[in-house]
């Protein structure tokens, strides 16, 4: 009976993946949980059949690189797998019917099950339906790690963020194995493409040096997360330009330290940062966020609650990478490095009419709202409410730490 059940679940997974890759299945579900007003019908993957068909119909540009093609595939994957309860695959994952197991990674041969994190990941089934904890003992692991889309339920746990470090030094202009620059997407030291990922007490680092102002192709990602339902607790993210690629999906960051210079938290995820320390290392000008929301129909954005912003240089709270970019800071301490204007329109004044940039009860010398651009907002209690709890990311549905 157990074997038959497992086979059935695997068949459901394969069918879902095939449908997603063909772009022919809508992610919307009529029986999902009731959403609060500001997110209703707007979750990743909840645009209905027309939206799914439209996304699938967009042709690849003639000069598309392999990395761009992969990114589009991941985008369709996340939209399809969108939220718990909207597919047979998700229902199977949420049941977690198989027992958890633990693997140990240690740099010393024989001291653990593996000597590299990637080797531990590669040992997992291609379709993983059980929680697997990969304990990474103290040490610096110089390797590039990639977790494939179907290896869900992976936890990577270090011995402490100051003790366990995984690092690599690729940048956007690094030439990949196919002979082309890998781009920002491919530069990540640690890339996560699977759902229900958890990381605890570990440092993700991109060792590429800080680029000179205006340098091209020097983005170096420490971690990229391109899947739904991911949590990071007590982790460090270290880099310079484009440190944390908060790409797609719903994510939770708690008690993390994030360091960088320009756009060092960027992407189009729906993410809550709680109790995090954000530290700028910019020599001149820098920007904390570059959120990439492209449409009113996308319910994405970044919310920082009870955080600290410190560092060097002159820092924008955010730049409007996306036309409908959305970022909120609440109960956050801001050092005097914050540029009084606070926000930059990415050189496009029309974005001032479409972005959503807000502050709520922030403190510190950089939090003075009086000098902010007119198109940002000082939120009322009612306006701030949807952004300052786990409800912002539907965390009560999927987050179990």
Assigned token pair, 363: 């403190």
- The answer to whether 263 is a known catalytic residue is yes
Active-site hit among 242, 263, 299, 394: 263
Give the span between the Cα atoms of 258 and 288, in whole angstroms: 10
Nearest 10 degrees: Cα torsion 401, 192, 68, 52: -40
CA 261 → CA 242, 302, 395, distances in Å? 8, 18, 29
Give the span between the Cα atoms of 325 and 316, in whole angstroms: 14
Contacts of 339 (CB under 8 A, 6+ apart): 285, 314, 315, 316
SS3 category, 249: coil
CA 8 → CA 19, 22, 132, 152, 194, distances in Å? 17, 21, 21, 17, 20
Contacts of 206 (CB under 8 A, 6+ apart): 167, 168, 169, 170, 187, 188, 189, 220, 221, 222, 238, 239, 240, 243
Active site residues: 263
């Amino acid at each position: 009976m157990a074997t038959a059940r497992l086979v059935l679940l695997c068949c459901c997974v394969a069918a879902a993946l095939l449908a997603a890759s063909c772009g022919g299945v809508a992610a919307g579900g009529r029986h999902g949980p009731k959403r609060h007003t500001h997110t209703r019908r707007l979750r990743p993957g909840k645009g209905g059949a027309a939206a799914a068909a439209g996304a699938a119909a967009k042709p690849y540009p003639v000069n598309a690189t392999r990395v761009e093609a992969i990114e589009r595939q991941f985008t369709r994957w996340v939209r399809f797998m969108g939220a718990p309860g909207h597919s047979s695959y998700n229902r199977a994952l949420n049941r977690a019917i198989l027992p958890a197991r633990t693997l140990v990674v240690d740099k010393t041969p024989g001291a653990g099950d593996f000597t590299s994190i990637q080797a531990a990941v590669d040992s997992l089934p291609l379709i993983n339906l059980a929680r697997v904890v990969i304990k990474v003992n103290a040490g610096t692991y110089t390797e590039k790690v990639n977790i494939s889309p179907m290896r869900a339920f992976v936890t990577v746990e270090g011995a402490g963020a100051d003790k366990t470090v995984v690092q690599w030094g690729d940048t956007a202009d690094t030439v990949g194995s196919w002979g082309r620059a890998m781009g920002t997407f491919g530069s990540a030291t640690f890339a996560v493409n699977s759902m229900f990922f958890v990381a605890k007490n570990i440092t993700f680092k991109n060792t590429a040096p800080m680029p000179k102002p205006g340098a091209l192709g020097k983005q170096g990602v420490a971690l990229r997360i391109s899947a739904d339902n991911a949590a990071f607790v007590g982790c460090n993210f270290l880099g310079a330009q484009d440190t944390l690629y908060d790409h797609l999906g719903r994510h939770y960051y708690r008690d993390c330290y994030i360091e960088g210079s320009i756009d060092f938290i960027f992407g189009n995820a729906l993410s809550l940062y709680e109790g995090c320390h954000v530290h700028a290392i910019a020599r001149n000008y820098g920007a904390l966020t570059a959120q990439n929301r492209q449409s009113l129909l996308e319910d994405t954005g970044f919310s920082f609650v009870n955080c600290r912003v410190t560092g060097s240089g002159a820092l924008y709270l955010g730049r409007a990478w996306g036309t409908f970019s959305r970022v909120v800071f609440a109960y956050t301490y801001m050092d005097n490095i914050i540029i009084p204007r606070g926000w930059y329109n990415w050189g496009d004044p029309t974005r001032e009419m479409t972005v959503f940039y807000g502050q709520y009860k922030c403190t510190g010398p950089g939090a003075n709202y009086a000098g902010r651009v007119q198109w940002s907002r000082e939120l009322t209690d009612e306006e701030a409410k949807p952004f300052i709890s786990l409800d912002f990311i539907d965390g009560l549905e999927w987050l179990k730490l």
